[in-house]
Amino acid sequence: MTIWIDFLTRLLNHWFGAPIDSVLGMLGIHPLRPGRPINNTLTEELLVFAFLVVFFTVVRLSLSVEKPGQAQHLAELAHEFVDNQAEQVMGHGHASYLPVLTCILIFILLLNCMGLLPGVETPTANPVVPLGLAIFTFVYYNWKGLRKQGVVGYLKHFMGPVWWIAPLMFPIEIISHLARMLSLTVRLFANMLASDLITLIFFSMIPLALPIVGLGLHAFVAIIQSYIFMLLATIYVGEATAHVESNI
């Protein structure tokens, strides 16, 4: 499996390495590997992205009420699961956020499960990947909050329920929201890295049953961490879009 990923990485660098280096140079960023800015982790992300595009395209083209296919069943299962979670957290008006929340869940789950393939490192065990997901989540829920409530209405979220506590609450809330990116990143990265290391330990042992236990543990952690990330994103969106009562 790693041979194919290495091959795709070399191919992507051959096609897009020079343009990416040029863009990075314009931004004042100097790649550690000039001519090879794309690594295996990014290749794995692109593979998951391409798979999801193909999967949902197939689902869309084969939609059927009377005879739904296996792909449609899987898509509906994921959608209903996220729908139930979002409804419990946000209540009425959660439907417009379901596409992004569902994609977050499935994308992270597939990235986490890449580590189950022989010789493939889990992309989310690289801190850059969880950081990118955390930044996206941070921008997304703040943008949705600003769009729904306006600048003034959204800023009330950071000022507390009464005017006299606002000077204290505002900087605390700003720091708290910025810290969410760090917590999302560290939680996903640390758990998946630990899961990778434990799986390697199991595989270094001779009995066949032990590697199976390691893979089972990795799959469990992959599912739990993707769910936690999606749930936290749902909570953040719910908080950002909820109207707050304020005496300010």
pLDDT digits (tens, 9 = 90+) for 192-202: 999 988 888 77
Q: Could you give the CA distance from residue 91 to residue 93 in angstroms, rounded to a whole number?
A: 6
Which class for 26: exposed (0-12), middle (13-18), buried (19 or more C-beta within 10 A)?
exposed
Task: Name residue, tokens 């314009």.
Answer: 26
Task: Name residue, tokens 């909050």.
Answer: 145
Are the beta carbons of 120 and 215 closer than 8 angstroms?
no
Please give the biggest Cα pair distance in the chain. Answer: 66
pLDDT at 93 over 50: yes
Q: How confident is the model at residue 57 (pLDDT cuts 50, 70, 90)?
A: very high
Q: How confident is the model at residue 206 (pLDDT cuts 50, 70, 90)?
A: low
Q: Compute the Cα dihedral for 163, 164, 168, 169 and give only its sign.
A: negative
Q: What average pLDDT is seen over the chain?
A: 88
Q: How confident is the model at residue 245 (pLDDT cuts 50, 70, 90)?
A: low
Domain positions in the chain are 57-241
Please count the other Cβ atoms lying within 10 Å of the Cβ belonging to residue 151.
7
End-to-end, the C-alpha distance of the chain in Å comes to: 59
Average pLDDT (127-135) is 96
Q: How confident is the model at residue 49 (pLDDT cuts 50, 70, 90)?
A: very high
Question: Nearest to residue 47, comparing CAs of 100, 101, 11, 22?
Answer: 11
Torsion region of 30: left, alpha or beta (phi above 0 gives left; psi -120 to 50 gives alpha): beta
Q: CB-based contacts of 228: which residues, under 8 Å, 6+ apart?
A: 187
Q: How confident is the model at residue 120 (pLDDT cuts 50, 70, 90)?
A: confident
Question: Nearest to residue 41, comparing CAs of 103, 131, 106?
Answer: 131
Q: How far is CA 119 from CA 2, 5, 66, 199, 207, in A?
A: 6, 10, 42, 11, 18
- Record the pTM: 0.91
